[in-house]
Structures are given as C-alpha cells and as structure tokens.
Amino acid sequence: AYMVTKNTGYVKLNRFAATSMTEFHKAVDSLKQNGFENLILDLRGNGGGYLKTAISLADEFLEAGQMVVYTEGTHQPRESYRATDKGSFSTGRVIVMVDEGSASASEIVSGAIQDWDRGIIVGRRSFGKGLVQRPFNLPDGSMVRLTVAHYYTPAGRCIQKSYTKGAEDYAEDLLHRYNNGELMNADSIHFPDSLKYETLTKKRTVYGGGGIMPDVFIPLDTTKKFTEYYRKMSRKGIIYQYLVAYMDKNREEIKQKFPDFTTFKTDFKVDDKMFAGIKAASEKKEIEPKDSTEYEDSKNDIELLVRALLARDIWNTSEFYEVINEKDEGLKTAVEIISDKKKYQKHFKN
C-alpha cells in the first residue's frame, strides 16, 4: 500500500487468503497516517480465494445490513451474506480495478461495491467465476466436486459466465474476448436487454451475463509488448537471480547512496555495467537477443523491473508496486477520476 496522491491511497490485493484482512487493515492504518481519504483497490489478476475473506473485505465499504452476495441453486435455497457493523471505510471515494484475471472472490467484492453504488469499477470485464461446489467422496477414495449453486451480486446478477456452449467454448472464453475485440474496445461488448440490471441506490444500468462489467473501460494496452528476449529472461528468473548476487555485494553501498525510498525512486538508474551483467547472466542460460534492436527495446522493461525488485529488497512490497506502477496507464486513469470529485460523481449517473 502507498499514497498515489496526497489524499488517495493504493492497495494491491493478489489473493483472498486467510491473512488478507489482517494485511488490509495494516495497509489502511499505514495510509491513514499519511492523510488518506480515498482508496484505489487493485484486484487485477486476483483469481480469488476464501469466501469469508471476500465478505469481510466488502464489509469494510458497506453499511450494516447491506447484502454482499447470495447463493442459490436449483435444489439449494437462497442464502444471503450481509455486511455487519459500519465498515472502516464507508465514506471516502472508492475505485476498484479489475480485469479478465479477476475472479471469484474479486467479483464478489467488486459486484457488491458496484451494486450499492459505493464505488466505481475501472478496467475490463472480470473472469466470470461464481460456482458453489460441494465435494462428494466416492467409495474408491476419489472425490468429485458437484456444482450446487451460483453466486449472485446484491442486484441479482449471476457472476458465473455461461457454459451452455460446452467445455471447449468455455475454456476459450478469454480467447474469444480477445478475438471479438472486447479487450481493446468497449463498443465491442453487446448485451441483450434481458441482462440489464439496476444498481440498488442510484438505479444505474449494470449488466449481468458473467463477470463484472466496469463502469470505466480500460483497453488492453496492445502497444505494450514485451520482447521475446525479456519474456525468456523473466520466465527463467534471470534478473531476479542476478540481483540476489548483486545485492549481496552492494546492499550497504546502495543503502548509503539512497538513504530513503524517495531518493532511490528519483535518482537510481541502471548503469551500463549492470545491464552488461544481466546480459552476461542471460547468455550463460543460452538466452540472447536476436539482434541489437531487440536488446535496446528490452532495456526499459529490464530497468523498471530491476528498480522494482531492488526497492522490494531494500524496503518492502509497497515500494515494489510504487515503482512497477509508474508505467501503468490504467492506474493513471483511476487516479485522474478519483482525484476529481466531478469526474468521479458523473459515473454514478446513467
């Protein structure tokens, strides 16, 4: 967690684990010490986790008694989960960032916040995973999981995307979204009127049909393509391994040269010697750029990752994200909206 502006905090949640609420409260407490009033909650790429954690997180933003999610199945009666006491963050502006990698618990939280008009959802349509499954043990010791119900947002939208066209079509859903242009252009997304729903307080139109549709669409950045050289280095952990050895030798020198994170973020540059060291380390693993152009095209991404990994080594994960998010266009859009009260409020109108 860190402050993206003087009064807006940023929290990245990678999963909904048993310890996530403790981590969230710790993050919010640290932001409060820096005068935070508004929050950007980044759930991009968060594939889910514990239902209990999702309900507890949504509870932080909602009023007591407001529904978070409900489950219902053909032979399973409706079961509702509601917010309890007033949450620790039930007044400031909220933006939740999602994408096609946000699933399950992420969709429960973003769906509840959207349906109660508690915040704005920014990004791309989420994955669409909302099945309640029950394990049944078989005589041979194996187990089968049967779907007994679906998750629904407070307004009645089914989170689960359709699987009526078969397993292959379901498995290739994200590929279909890409090919149909949905990841690049909001105009490529079409929903029938039967999938229209209304939010519960402002009566805005939102859509069902699987996944959570954002209020503000952020296209997939197709101009941001990593080179094959950089991809191979990342997959093999070359840069990380190089930096482990590098920091063993240079940690104290770097700490003296950059006594605080602000100085490091502003002044640290990857020099030619470090670039050469990383290149040599990749060559030992038989990973080489196909030509000098590919190498030069890789250097900005290498430098950004080096700076982020060093920041995490010397300070913490918050500093890692503060560096790695420097080139994040989606986050820049979220910051622009949440920083301007008029821009923020206009998204609550149909």
Tens-digit pLDDT profile for residues 122-180: 999 999 999 988 899 999 999 999 989 999 999 999 999 887 777 776 677 767 676 77
- The reported pTM is 0.88
pLDDT at 220 (0 to 100): 82
Residue 133 token pair: 């499954």
Residue 121 token pair: 């959802």
pLDDT at 71 (0 to 100): 96
pLDDT at 58 (0 to 100): 97
Residue 109 has pLDDT above 90, yes or no: yes
What ranges do the domains of the chain cover?
2-220+329-346, 228-315
pLDDT at 124 (0 to 100): 94
Spatial separation of the C-alpha atoms in residues 43 and 13, rounded to whole Å = 6
3-state secondary structure of 46: coil
Greater pLDDT, 35 or 112: 112
Residues 6+ apart with CB under 8 A from 349: 202, 204
3-state helix, strand, coil in the chain (%, to 5): 45, 20, 40
Residues 6+ apart with CB under 8 A from 22: none
Model confidence over 217-266: pLDDT tens digits?
Answer: 998 876 667 899 999 999 999 999 999 999 999 999 999 999 999 999 99
Model confidence over 281-340: pLDDT tens digits?
Answer: 999 999 999 999 999 999 999 999 999 999 999 999 999 999 999 999 999 999 999 999
3-state secondary structure of 145: strand
Chain centre distance of CA 4: 16
* Strands of the 8-12 sheet, one edge to the other: 2-3, 8-12, 38-42, 94-98, 120-123, 216-217
**CATH no., domain 2-220+329-346:** 3.90.226.10
